[in-house]
Amino acid sequence: MIQTERLLQTFCTLVSFDSPSCGERKICDYLKETLKQLGLAVTEDDAAEKIGGTAGNIYAVLPATQGMESLPPLLFSGHMDTVEPSHGKQTVVHPDGTITSNGETVLGADDCAALAAILEALSVIQADQLPHRMIEVLFSAAEESYCTGIGMFDFNRIQAKEAYILDISGPVGGAATQAPTILSFRITVHGRASHAGFVPEAGIHAIAIAATAVHTLKNGWLDEQTTRNIGTISGGSQTNIVPELCVVTGEIRSFSHASAMAAWEETQTAFRDAVAQSGAELDITHTIHVHAYHTPETHPVVKRFEAVCRKQGISCFLRSTMGGSDNNPLSEHGITGIVLATAMNNSHSCTEYTSIEELRRISAITVDLMCAEV
C-alpha cells in the first residue's frame, strides 16, 4: 500500500537537493544509498568525467521473486537533474494538497516526482512482499541538456526490452508514444568589414546575406510533423562598419527522422544560395541530439499500462510530444518504451506544481507495472 506521508517526505527531500544538470552529486548519493537499502544492486557509471559533471548515471537491479523469474524484466527510468533556476529549492505544501516552490525557483517535480514514485513503488513491493518480475532502474544525469548523461551509458547492461520513462507533464494516466528527432544548428556567415560611410562597397555584408537566407526559409510547422525555428541572429560590431560576421542558430524537430534531415538540407541550401557570388564564406555545424521514435499502441508496453490504469480507475490517454526524453536514446538501443505523465505541471517555470494525490497515483501505477504478470 502506498504510504502517502513517506512518499511526500521522499519527494520533499529530493527537491531539497540542488541538482542542476552536471551537478547532481548530492541527490545521486542519496538515491544510491536509498536503492541499496531497498535491496537493489546499485552501480554508478563514469558518465560524470565524460560530460564534465559531478555524478554519473545510476543503474540498479532487483531480481524477480520466486515464480516470476520467467517474465521479462522491465526498466523504470527518471532523471536526477532539474532546470534553472533551481538553487535553494523549497517545497510549499498547500492545504488543498497542491505542492509548489516558494516562487523563486522551479519546484523540480520534473523529475523528482519520478524519482519519488519509483522509490515509493520499490518500498511498497519490499514492505508488502509483493511478487514482481525483475526490475531495472536507471536514474540518468544531465537529461535536461539533451539527454547528455544517458548518452554515455553502456546500454548493453540493460536486460529489459521494455521501459517506462517517468518524465512528462499532464494528468497522471497520460503517456507519450511518439517523440521527435531534435537537431540544432549553427551557421556562421563570414563576410568582409569595411567603413560603412566611405567604402561600403568594399565590404561583404554578413548580416544582409544571413537575412536573405532566413527570409527564404519557412519557420514554424513545415508539415504536420516537422518544425523549424531560427532562434538567434547575432553579428556586427559598430554602426559605421559593414559587418564581417553573422551567426545564426536554430533547431529542427520532426516525428520523422528523414523529414528532419530534409529540413536541415533545405536550411543549408538556403544559406549556400545566399552566399553564392557574394565572396562570403560559411561555417555550418549541427548536432542531432535525439532520434525520433514511435511506439505502436498495440505494443505490450502500452497495453500493460492501459490495463494498470483501468485497474486503478485512472483515465488513460496516449499522445505524441514534441519534446525529447531519455526514451529517445533507449529506443535507439532497441528498448521499446513510453513516457508516463508523472505528477508535474508547468514544468520549466517557477509556477511548476504537483499534488499529493497525483504523486500517489503515479506511485500506485508504478507498483502495478512492476508487479504485472503480463
Do 327 and 71 meet the contact criterion of CB atoms below 8 Å apart?
A: no
Q: Report d(CA 6, CA 71) in Å as an integer.
A: 30
Grid cell 501505477 in the structure block, residue = 365
* Burial degree of 74 (CB within 10 A; 0-12, 13-18, 19+): buried
State the Rg of the chain over Cα: 24
H helix or E strand, kind and range, residue 116:
helix 109-127
Please measure the distance between the N-terminal and C-terminal CA atoms of the chain and give it in whole angstroms.
21
The residues, any chain, with a CB within 8 Å of residue 140's CB and separated by 6 or more, are 57, 58, 77, 78, 79, 80, 147, 149, 150, 153, 326
**Which residues on neighbouring strands pair with residue 288, listed in sequence order?**
183
Q: Report d(CA 6, CA 14) in Å as an integer.
A: 12
User: Which residues are designated catalytic?
Assistant: 81, 143
**CA distance to 201, 202, 250, 262, 272, per residue, from 239 (Å):** 15, 16, 26, 37, 26
